[in-house]
Amino acid sequence: MSSIKIYHYLNYKDFINNFIKDCPKGGRGQLLKISSYLAVHSTLISQVLRGHKDFTLEQAYKLSEYFGFNEIETDYFITLVQYEKAGTVNLKTYFEKQLRKIRDDFQNVSSRVVTKTELDNEDKAVYYSDWTYMAVWLLTSIPEFNNINKIAAQLELPAKRITRIMEFLIKVGLCAADENGDIHMGISKTHLESNSPLVNKHHVNWRLKAIENYNKMTSAELAFTVPITISKKDFRKIKNDILEFIEKASETVSSSPAEELACLNIDLFTIK
């Protein structure tokens, strides 16, 4: 589920070089980030990617974390490194068979169809535990966010964390991955009844996200807070006006192309 599909490669160096090129700004600064993550000098990274040196298996495992690989992808990547390091034809043939088996396993997992269309209570508890689950799910409705690394970059979160979230979303059917590893929305849906104990958690999650966002808001965004005194009659009027706006906004959203991830929070309450 990475930006450049690991299963398309029989050479791990080609994968890493193409991964770097696929990063924003042509991958500028990626060698330093990788060397920092591995706690080695950037010269070593260059020598591996452009020469005859190879990463150790320990470094290969760390790189799997850096790329945000899931378990199957990690197996494939580490086996690629072993394949490259193999010193005999027989050993290379052995690892080539292992790579083929892992690819087949991945395709079998990707082809599984999730039949349930509504999350059970246990899955809902996980999904609404943190804002990131819904954010990742919504981003998959935008065509350009069809892989882990682009989602991680957009949300400014570690790829490893996004991988764990994506594995959950795929497991419950909210997302799906095709045979090439591209991610898209799945068939499952989730809905909270107004009396669900998870509703408060859902509200808190996104209001905390709004607070986090205040310091980096642009002129294209909007925040409005005003404590007031008001008559009971006019309080009810404003509430009805807001409900009408919510209805119109919902109609707009339902027919709007998915281009940006955004959040609309509305509160109107009396102070007691």
pLDDT in tens, 139-194: 999 999 988 888 999 999 998 899 999 999 998 989 988 777 789 898 767 778 87
What is the pLDDT at residue 3? 47
Q: Is the pLDDT of residue 120 over 90?
A: no
Measuring CA to CA, which residue among 230, 250, 249, 242 is closest to residue 266?
242
pLDDT at residue 89, rounded to an integer: 94
Q: Please report the pLDDT score of residue 85 as a whole number.
A: 94
Alpha carbon 219 to its chain centroid, in Å, reads 27
106: tokens are 């991945």
Distance CA 154, CA 63 (A): 21
Residues 108-131, mean pLDDT to the nearest whole number: 74
Percent of the chain with pLDDT over 70: 94
Residue 112 has pLDDT above 80, yes or no: no
pLDDT greater at residue 119 or residue 140: 140
Does pTM surpass 0.75?
no
Nearest residue to 27 via CA among 37, 19, 36: 19
Alpha-carbon distance of 46 to 147, in angstroms, equals: 26
pLDDT computed for residue 96 by the predictor: 93
pLDDT at 8 over 90: no
Q: What confidence tier does 51 reach under pLDDT thresholds 50, 70, 90?
A: confident
Tell me the C-alpha distance between 81 and 58, whole Å: 11
Tokens in use for 120? 């059970």
The DSSP string of the chain is: --SS-GGG-S-HHHHHHHHHHHSGGGGTTHHHHHHHHHTS-HHHHHHHHHSS----HHHHHHHHHHTT--HHHHHHHHHHHHHHH--SHHHHHHHHHHHHHHHHHHHHHHT------B--HHHHHHHTTSHHHHHHHHHTTSTT--SHHHHHHHHT--HHHHHHHHHHHHHTTSEEE-TT--EEE-S-B----TT-TTHHHHHHHHHHHHHHHGGG--TTS----------HHHHHHHHHHHHHHHHHHHHHHHTS----------------
Token readout for 127 is: 């999904």
Q: Give the mean model confidence (pLDDT) for residues 204-217.
A: 94
> Residue 2 — pLDDT band, cuts 50, 70, 90?
very low
Closest among 163, 181, 151 to 64, alpha carbons compared: 163
List the domains of the chain with CATH numbers: 6-110 (1.10.260)
